[in-house]
Structure 1
Amino acid sequence: MVFARGREEPPGPGYVGNAFVDALRPKLPKMAIASYGVDYPADISPATGADDMSAHVQSMARSCPKTRMVLGGYSLGAAAADLVVAVTKPAFGFTNPLPPAMDDHIAAVALFGNGTRRILGPLRNFSPAFAGKL
């Protein structure tokens, strides 16, 4: 689980991220679920979080190619995850887009309190590769 916390939450996966991981564990008792809290200030911009999330996903895909990840975020963290899965070229301050075919390493995307959706519409409109994973 790679989770970006909400605005001004303490470092780590945040309250929602921790609750989400805790809720998943009993549903997947035979799977080891590790969590990574995206390293970013969680203040006003999602770009730094998106860069860190993307770097972590790429690193995990290289070092553990059979591992499939769940990406998630709450509030500002959801906007960071939006950038990672929807933006294919550097934009909006986001400088580290996922390379092609990286979606094979992502099992699902879970976004909570995603304000970006109200403005731009559903994420599946921008990232067809992830449409079935949202």
Structure 2
Amino acid sequence: MTAPTASAACSDIEVLSARGTFEPGSLGLIVGDPVYSALRQRISGKTLSSYRVDYPADLSLTSAAQGNAELVNRVRSQAASCPNQRFILVGYSQGANVVDNSIGISSAGAVVGSPIVATIPKELEPKVSAVLLFGNPIRSIGKSVTGTYQSRTFDICAKGDPVCEQGGGDTLAHLSYRSNANEAAVFAAGKV
């Protein structure tokens, strides 16, 4: 079997975005779209493409698990088709659960969380340049990203956001992450 060759369609960096529950927008109106736009402005000299993680993003018990499997499958297939491509993983709210699970941090027990059904293979971990998490539900149960991805992770929880802050009571805080897009892009640009 011969090694796959890179095609003209391979970007230097693919931004995989897992949107929040019921979030509209191509990559996600509150986080995905503004973060991708900020990344395009901040990362120069490299080509970027985006990918919307295809999952229900609803309140069903299997939604986050479906997103978890889909994100891992996308990374595997892109790594095979585009061997030099790197990845930036973006997750907002339930989408953060999807990303958490995909990098081996279980979101089981968190709001709209699920057990891990797939993880990015160890040999592909170095291809993940940055992990950008917004309103991450695992934070409300005292968990965070640890291990190999910790230094590459930007994980923000707005003050009072009940989804990620235990005892938080400001539901509007959960909708405020658009204002953090540039900060996240600056972080990611330093990692690519």
Runs of 4+ in 1 over 6 A off after TM superposition: none
Deviation per residue, 1:75-104 (Å, 9 max, x gap) = 00001000000259xxx4543322222211
| TM-score under structure 2 length normalisation | 0.62
Q: How does 1:50-89 map to 2 (within 5 A)?
A: 50-87=68-105
Q: What SS class does the counterpart of residue 91 from structure 2 fall into?
A: strand
Amino acid across the alignment from 1:61? A
Which gives a bigger RCO, structure 1 or 2 (Cα 8 Å, sep 6+)?
A: 1
Root-mean-square deviation over aligned CA pairs: 1.7
Q: What SS class does the counterpart of residue 132 from structure 2 fall into?
A: strand
Q: What SS class does the counterpart of residue 130 from structure 2 fall into?
A: strand
Judge conservation of contact 2:101–2:116 (CA < 8 Å) in 1.
yes
Q: Which has the larger radius of gyration?
A: 2
Measured after TM superposition, the shift of residue 10 of structure 1 is: 3.1
Measured after TM superposition, the shift of residue 33 of structure 1 is: 1.3
Amino acid across the alignment from 1:24? L
Unaligned runs of 5+ in 1: none
> Quick one: distance in 2 between partners of 1:58 and 1:70?
14
Instruction: Tell me which of 29, 37, 52 is aligned to 2:44.
Output: 29
Measured after TM superposition, the shift of residue 9 of structure 1 is: 1.5
Whether 1:39 aligns to 2:54 is yes
> Quick one: distance in 1 between partners of 2:25 and 2:42?
26
Aligned residues: 128
Amino acid across the alignment from 1:26? Q
Q: What does residue 123 of structure 1 align with?
A: 145
Whether 1:106 aligns to 2:136 is no
Measured after TM superposition, the shift of residue 25 of structure 1 is: 1.0
| TM-score under structure 1 length normalisation | 0.87
> Quick one: distance in 1 between partners of 2:39 and 2:117?
31
Q: What SS class does the counterpart of residue 122 from structure 2 fall into?
A: coil
Instruction: Tell me which of 4, 14, 18 is aligned to 1:4.
Output: 18
Q: What does residue 132 of structure 1 align with?
A: 151
